[in-house]
Amino acid sequence: MGSVLEMLICGQLEKKPCIWYPCLSRPCILPQKSWSFTRLLFLILLLSIINNTVIVGDYFSSISTVSYMDAPGHYEDILRPAVQMENTYRLGPAKCFPVGTVNNILKDVLTSYLQEEKYEAELCRQMTKTISEVTKARIKDLMIPRYKIIVIINIGQLKKQSIQIGSRCLWDTTNDTFCSYSFKNRSLFALANVYAVYSE
């Protein structure tokens, strides 16, 4: 595509190059020297975005089969609408993070998932992922603006041992906060920590 485009700009193609519109099922002829390089490049990129595939060249000699939609990981970006944020000049949250409500969520989730469970290493490994995702989803349902949520779940076997779990964070003590809840049954213990970090 690049060599055909360069030949188009330099006027080295004797035949007039054309761009094929798949949706119209007909070629459209471009003048050889009347458009600038920037305008032609913009037109080609625009058509490739609109139609996903564009045939460029000396009477269809070159085919571009690469599509933005075919690349892995780009499909989700297209479906998500672009959100434009404006400056609010607000240095703190409009309302405080609801620590009591989040503690109730932690208690409810841990109790419902672990009340009758026995400790098994592989099961608890999967359970930590499940509980953290469920907890994060329920906290996000509260629609607390501008807070980033971090959920950490620890599950271990209960054998009358002593354990200390600590964490250190660098944050703003006026706006950032955390919630913690511990649970245990006859076989296992669990500790859930939720960190809420305000994002300006």
Is there a domain that residue 92 lies in? no
Asked if 68 and 128 sit in the same domain, the reply is: no
Asked if 187 and 112 sit in the same domain, the reply is: yes
Asked if 124 and 188 sit in the same domain, the reply is: yes
Per-residue pLDDT at 161: 87
Asked if 39 and 115 sit in the same domain, the reply is: no
**3 pLDDT above the threshold of 50:** no
Per-residue pLDDT at 135: 96
Per-residue pLDDT at 44: 72
Is there a domain that residue 89 lies in? no
Is there a domain that residue 90 lies in? no
Q: What is the pLDDT of residues 146-195, one digit of tens each?
A: 899 999 999 999 988 888 988 888 889 899 999 999 999 999 999 999 99
- Secondary structure (3-state) at 28: strand
Mean pLDDT of 93-110: 94
Q: How are strands ordered across the β-sheet holding 62-64?
A: 26-29, 18-21, 54-57, 62-64
Per-residue pLDDT at 148: 93
> What does the DSSP 8-state code read for residue 12?
-
Mean pLDDT of 103-123: 94
For CA atoms 18, 23, 25, 28, the dihedral sign is negative
Mean pLDDT of 6-13: 45
Asked if 103 and 173 sit in the same domain, the reply is: yes
Determine the structural domain holding residue 132 and report its residue range: 99-198
Mean pLDDT of 76-103: 81
Q: Which residues contact 193 (CB under 8 A, 6 or more apart)?
A: 151, 152, 153, 167, 178, 179, 180
Per-residue pLDDT at 128: 95
Query: Is 76 exposed, middle or buried, given 0-12, 13-18 or 19+ CB atoms closer than 10 A?
Result: exposed
pLDDT cut 70: percent of the chain above it: 60
**95 pLDDT above the threshold of 90:** no
Query: What would the two tokens of residue 163 be?
Result: 């354990």
Do the beta carbons of residue 142 and residue 66 sit within 8 Å?
no
pLDDT cut 90: percent of the chain above it: 42
Q: What is the CATH number of the domain that holds 140?
A: 3.30.1140.40
CA distance 12 to 120: 72
How many C-beta neighbours within 10 Å does residue 198 have?
20
Per-residue pLDDT at 64: 43
Is there a domain that residue 48 lies in? yes
The residue among 30, 48, 79 that closes a domain is: 79
Q: Which residues contact 180 (CB under 8 A, 6 or more apart)?
A: 106, 191, 192, 193, 194
How many C-beta neighbours within 10 Å does residue 150 have?
13
Per-residue pLDDT at 169: 86
Please provide the average confidence, as pLDDT, over all residues in the chain: 75
CA distance 35 to 52: 23
DSSP per position, 149-190: EEEEEEEEE-SS------------TTT-EEEEEEEE-SSEEE
**99 pLDDT above the threshold of 50:** yes
Mean pLDDT of 56-66: 43
- What is the pTM assigned to this prediction? 0.56
Asked if 131 and 74 sit in the same domain, the reply is: no
Higher pLDDT, 142 or 59: 142
